[in-house]
Amino acid sequence: MGRSLTGTVIITGGNGQLGSEIAIAIAKTQPFAHILLTARDIKGADVRNLIAKVRLIGPRSIEVISLDLNDLRSVTGFAQSTVERVRSNEIPPLVDLIHSAAIASYTVDELTLDGYDPVYQTNCVAPFFLTISLLEAFRAGNGTPGGGAKVINIGCSAVSYGRLDYFDRDRGRGDRRLGTPISAKEGNVRYGSSKLLASVALYALRRSLTSTGKISLDIFTLDPGGMAGESNLRSGAPLSVRVAHQTRSGLRPFLRMLSRSSMNKANVPAKVIAKVAFQRDAVETCQAERYYILDREYEAGSVIPTLRNGSQMGKVLVKMMQQTEIGGKGTRSTGSVSPGSALC
């Protein structure tokens, strides 16, 4: 390509509705980024179609690597190999990690091999574990504009249904048989709880990293808003969920107010994400955590009130560290996260 690559961007769920549009938007605007997409089935037709579309944009450095978030060994293997490839200069340091992969489920599911509700593991435990496992691969920042790297957690307005203790009680299972349908309401609480916990845990991680001062990594949530089109998130949902998605009538008032563009094609939020991912701005302080709804920026604590409760944040971070410790025993790459410092 005649010029060296500027940094690696990882997009999980790279073959999904939003993930593939983010890849296209970045390919269009960042010709010197190395785009590393993850997918469960790297040989699938959606992956082939996406690569073909990117090739039409121009010569780009793009690859697709297998990653199953429902298996923490897969996360460990992917992270270790990525850190090693960065160390050996095979690929440039990470500048962006975009957590786009997610699932929703409206049935009672078997726990994962790691022992978690698959919705919780895919949307929360595994993205958190992936983030800490990749810390060594991020481009070192110095707090100056353009100095740091970013972790963008793709959020969702369903966080307003979420509860921090939802998965403690292992709801959605109880003594019900596997495959039993669950109500739309319960499914939304389950999905919203997984997305809420992911946001809280990642903001807590950010505080912890900021307070240790060793890694300047900006971590924030971006809600893409409602998206028209084929998303697997809705395919197994009860009819009421799909209708609510179309009308956005299910949103609580404050989110309805914030949701100025109720429904877009996925390429609209994808363009915003591609822009935000490469925005050159100073690494924020603890007090200035941002939360995006499309391209609008909010103080994160105004959207997720838990962020104002230091002790709750600390508890979520400790729990998440313990859960990922089990999954990645002896394999994690950093010792620089201190749960106590999430309380700043």
CB of 245 to ligand NAP, least distance (A): 6
* Range in contact with ligand NAP (rule: CB under 6 A) among 87-95, 101-109, 281-289, 314-322: 101-109
Residue type for 200, please? Answer: V
Contact positions with ligand NAP (CB under 6 A) in 191-230? 224, 226-227
Q: What does the block give as tokens for 21?
A: 């549009």
Kindly state whether residue 248 participates in binding ligand NAP, applying the rule CB under 6 A.
no
Kindly state whether residue 15 participates in binding ligand NAP, applying the rule CB under 6 A.
yes
* Range in contact with ligand NAP (rule: CB under 6 A) among 35-43, 53-61, 173-181, 286-294: 35-43
Kindly state whether residue 91 participates in binding ligand NAP, applying the rule CB under 6 A.
no
Nearest to 155 by CA among 69, 315, 273, 249: 273
Kindly state whether residue 156 participates in binding ligand NAP, applying the rule CB under 6 A.
yes
Cβ proximity to ligand NAP, 231 vs 336, nearer residue: 231
CB of 175 to ligand NAP, least distance (A): 26
Kindly state whether residue 162 participates in binding ligand NAP, applying the rule CB under 6 A.
no
Cβ proximity to ligand NAP, 91 vs 125, nearer residue: 125
Kindly state whether residue 159 participates in binding ligand NAP, applying the rule CB under 6 A.
no
* CA distances (Å), origin 274, targets 23, 30, 37, 53, 264: 8, 9, 14, 17, 16
Cβ proximity to ligand NAP, 71 vs 84, nearer residue: 71
Kindly state whether residue 262 participates in binding ligand NAP, applying the rule CB under 6 A.
no
Where does this chain bind ligand NAP (CB under 6 A)? 13, 15-19, 39-41, 67-70, 100-103, 122, 154, 156, 224, 226-227, 231-233
